[in-house]
Chains A and B, each alone.
Chain A
Amino acid sequence: MPPEPTDSLRPGATALGASEGTPLHRVRALLQGFGPLLGLIVLCIAGTALNGDFATLDNVMNVLTRTAFIGIIAVGMCFVIISGGIDLSVGSMAALIAGVMILLMNRLAPSLSSPTSVIALGIGFALLLGALFGLVHGLLIARGGIEPFIVTLGTLGIFRAYLTYFADGGAITLDSDLSDAYGPVYYASFLLPVPVWVFLAVALGGALILNRTAYGRYVQAIGSNEQVARYAAVDVNRIKVLTYMLLGVCVGIATVLYVPRLGSSSPTTGLLWELEAIAAVIVGGTALKGGSGTITGTVVGAILLSVISNILNLTSVISVYLNSAVQGFVIIAVAFMQRRRKGAS
């Protein structure tokens, strides 16, 4: 008796779902895809309503420029997360690269006459060091078979401890002449500030690599099912190592932009950047368990996070004690808007 009504009901129910659900479903899928963008637009309207100066060009440039560091790191992080990994060390890594890079440039300054060549060497060194750190992570994870969470948790401590050691607990500061010569890399502006251009370039490059290259497709394949990827003759280990190296280079690029801002690195540099970068990726719609994600979403996610703290600084509506709570609420709300995408795919 009991199966009968369910059986007779089921076709009707599916038919109903199919006839009314398809356009609805499409709208919802669209909404979910645009979740972070929608969130950003809502926040921007709120920001303008709360303080008219929010929408000024200067403020928009400030926000975009300060997003550049986290945004660039988040693009690299997006690859790692799509491949099913994670990197907790990026903040410490950025701080250490910044510190070592400054030490190197200060040492080179007396022997090389032009500050430009010192800075060029410093930049090259930072990118190389980032790639090297990424390589170490990748090898330990792919060949060593250690969980990425554990490897990068270990290096998180190692990188910061070495920075503290090199800095003698204080700050490592760039030579003032070099600082003047290097300053434009952060402060100069050609229509847009330099860091924003770099951010754009990295994001575009990231999107191209992810969507238009075999490597990008392998990254997604590994993230959705590593075993299947292996059977499909994907060189999983090599792809994984490359993914961590790509993130390392992104951290290097972010550091190259960061150093001219304050010209120094101290043990508090880059604290919690890893969480901001991961939050940007997740808010941008990438699944933490890997497999799928977009660079556009990540960029929007990173901007969204900086806009929240910018709005909080521009208004006094909310107690300063609650700033982090507001950020937490918005992150959860945006993630909620697109929760079904992961289940559907």
Chain B
Amino acid sequence: MKPMFRRLALGLSAMAALLTASSALAQDKQVNLGVAIPTATHGFTGGIVWWANEAKKELEKQHPGLKITVKTAANASEQANQLQDLLTVNKINTLVVFPFESAALTRPVAQVKGKGVYVTVVDRGLTDANAQDAYVAGDNTAFGRIPAEYLVKRLNGKGNIVALRGIATTIDNERMDAFKAVLKNHPDIKLLDARYANWNRDDAFKVMQDYLTRFKQIDAVWAADDDMAVGVLKAIEQSKRTDIQEVFGGAGSKGMVKAILEGKNKLVQADVSYSPKFIYDAIKLTAEARLKGEALPPKTIIPSVLITKENAQQFYFPNSPF
């Protein structure tokens, strides 16, 4: 089975190489870019899909030599299959991939790169950096550090904070560690507890209800995600508690940014950006560099920025689903 498959793949890729070579001769500086991203199952991934299609629309119009194919996958093995399709059917010469899982996608991506495709990896890194040409990501450390610094300032260095976590992953650990690292320098700020609410509104609602039962004095909540912040705000509203001064979400969803702009909810004053727009930036940077025949820097970090009323307008994208 395996050797046959390998031979078949080899044959197909040889054909593909021939075909791309001939088309490359016909029209030089053609960039045929494939985008492989997770399918929309959560507000954030919904945003990723929307921004990827937005990039396709705008960039193809700007650059006649550019063709973009977007593929969404529901799990790691489906994504691996799509990478093969992109190579053999769509004959891409450039790939922008948001890996579904770091470890599982490392070999499939390495294989694509081995066929001479230029590879940009976005957000979730691969376990072996040799499988990529460039890496573009949001800043997870800042995602945890910025809210901690903001809340310390807001509470004048003294008070009780509860936190909600996403799903047990390395990204979540990175954010939590950065958050705790800031609090370490402020011994009068107490982190009462941090529970998983799975980046889910319903779970966040329940976890917050239980926090409210358990702790008589909570000064601020780090919801660590705008979806979770929605559930947290509802639970606080229902309990009619007035001790909480701030609910800090994360990622800059349009609902939260709008709330900051309007200033109607006094609990929501700030957010930290971690926009799914980075897939747009990654596609744009990669496409433009490749059209010029250049390479990207090996690592590009799209900075996470504190969003407040002053700068919120720049982060408000009313047409995006996120």
Q: Which residues of A contact B (CB under 8 A)?
A: 51, 53, 56, 58-59, 62, 66, 164, 167-171, 173, 187, 261-262, 264, 266-269, 271, 309-310, 313-314, 316, 320-321, 323
B40 interfacial by beta-carbon distance below 8 Å: yes
Please tell me if the beta carbons of A269 and B202 are within 8 angstroms of each other in the complex. Answer: yes
Please tell me if the beta carbons of A313 and B210 are within 8 angstroms of each other in the complex. Answer: yes
Please tell me if the beta carbons of A169 and B234 are within 8 angstroms of each other in the complex. Answer: no
Task: List residues of B (208-262) whose CB comes within 8 Å of A's CBs.
Answer: 209-211, 213-214, 227, 230-231, 234, 238-239, 255
Given A266-B42, A266-B201, A320-B196, 10 new contacts (CB under 8 A)? A56-B213, A62-B210, A164-B46, A173-B255, A262-B201, A262-B202, A262-B230, A264-B201, A268-B199, A310-B210
B115 interfacial by beta-carbon distance below 8 Å: no
SS of B interface (majority): helix
The proximity string for B residues 281-322 relative to A, scoring 1 for CB distances below 8 Å and 0 otherwise, is 000000000000000000000000000000000000000111
Please tell me if the beta carbons of B230 and A170 are within 8 angstroms of each other in the complex. Answer: no
Given contacts A170-B321, A262-B234, are A314 and B42 in contact (CB under 8 A)? no
B100 interfacial by beta-carbon distance below 8 Å: no
Classify chain B's interface size. Answer: 35 or more
What are the residues of chain B within 8 A of A309 when measuring CB–CB? 206
Given contacts A51-B214, A53-B214, are A169 and B45 in contact (CB under 8 A)? yes
How far, in whole Å, are A130 and B109 apart by their CA atoms in the complex?
43
Given contacts A264-B201, A309-B206, are A316 and B193 in contact (CB under 8 A)? yes
Task: List residues of B (186-212) whose CB comes within 8 Å of A's CBs.
Answer: 193-196, 198-202, 205-207, 209-211
Closest to A157 in B: B74
* The residue from B41, B42, B321 contacting A168, defined by CB atoms under 8 A apart: B321
* The residue from A268, A313, A320 contacting B42, defined by CB atoms under 8 A apart: A268
What are the residues of chain B within 8 A of A268 when measuring CB–CB? 41-42, 198-202, 227
Number of A-B contacts (CB under 8 A): 96
Please tell me if the beta carbons of A169 and B200 are within 8 angstroms of each other in the complex. Answer: no
What are the residues of chain A within 8 A of B194 when measuring CB–CB? 320
How far, in whole Å, are A95 and B185 apart by their CA atoms in the complex?
44
Pairs of residues from A and B, 7 with the lowest C-beta to C-beta distance, nearest first? A169-B46, A169-B40, A170-B321, A313-B210, A168-B321, A170-B46, A267-B41
Q: Which residues of B contact A (CB under 8 A)?
A: 39-43, 45-47, 49-50, 165, 168, 193-196, 198-202, 205-207, 209-211, 213-214, 227, 230-231, 234, 238-239, 255, 320-322
What are the residues of chain A within 8 A of B201 when measuring CB–CB? 262, 264, 266, 268-269
How far, in whole Å, are A320 and B202 apart by their CA atoms in the complex?
18
How far, in whole Å, are A51 and B45 apart by their CA atoms in the complex?
38
Please tell me if the beta carbons of B43 and A171 are within 8 angstroms of each other in the complex. Answer: yes
In angstroms, how far is the closest chain B Cβ from the Cβ of A59? 5
What are the residues of chain A within 8 A of B50 when measuring CB–CB? 168-170
Please tell me if the beta carbons of B213 and A264 are within 8 angstroms of each other in the complex. Answer: no
Please tell me if the beta carbons of A169 and B47 are within 8 angstroms of each other in the complex. Answer: yes
How far, in whole Å, are A173 and B226 apart by their CA atoms in the complex?
14
Which of A170, A269, A313, A321 neighbours the largest number of chain B CB atoms within 10 Å of its CB? A170
What are the residues of chain B within 8 A of A171 when measuring CB–CB? 43, 227, 321
In angstroms, how far is the closest chain B Cβ from the Cβ of A2? 55
How far, in whole Å, are A167 and B231 apart by their CA atoms in the complex?
18
What are the residues of chain A within 8 A of B196 when measuring CB–CB? 320, 323
How far, in whole Å, are A320 and B197 apart by their CA atoms in the complex?
11
Please tell me if the beta carbons of B321 and A167 are within 8 angstroms of each other in the complex. Answer: yes
Please tell me if the beta carbons of A313 and B214 are within 8 angstroms of each other in the complex. Answer: yes
Closest to A324 in B: B196
What are the residues of chain B within 8 A of A310 when measuring CB–CB? 206, 210
How far, in whole Å, are A187 and B237 apart by their CA atoms in the complex?
10
Please tell me if the beta carbons of A170 and B199 are within 8 angstroms of each other in the complex. Answer: no
In angstroms, how far is the closest chain A Cβ from the Cβ of B35? 15
Please tell me if the beta carbons of A170 and B210 are within 8 angstroms of each other in the complex. Answer: no
* The residue from B39, B213, B322 contacting A62, defined by CB atoms under 8 A apart: B213
What are the residues of chain B within 8 A of A51 when measuring CB–CB? 214
What are the residues of chain B within 8 A of A167 when measuring CB–CB? 40, 46, 321
What are the residues of chain B within 8 A of A66 when measuring CB–CB? 206, 209
In angstroms, how far is the closest chain B Cβ from the Cβ of A62? 5
How far, in whole Å, are A271 and B42 apart by their CA atoms in the complex?
11
What are the residues of chain B within 8 A of A168 when measuring CB–CB? 40, 46, 50, 321
Closest to A171 in B: B43
| Sample of 6 A–B contacts (CB below 8 Å) | A66-B209, A164-B46, A167-B40, A169-B49, A264-B201, A268-B202
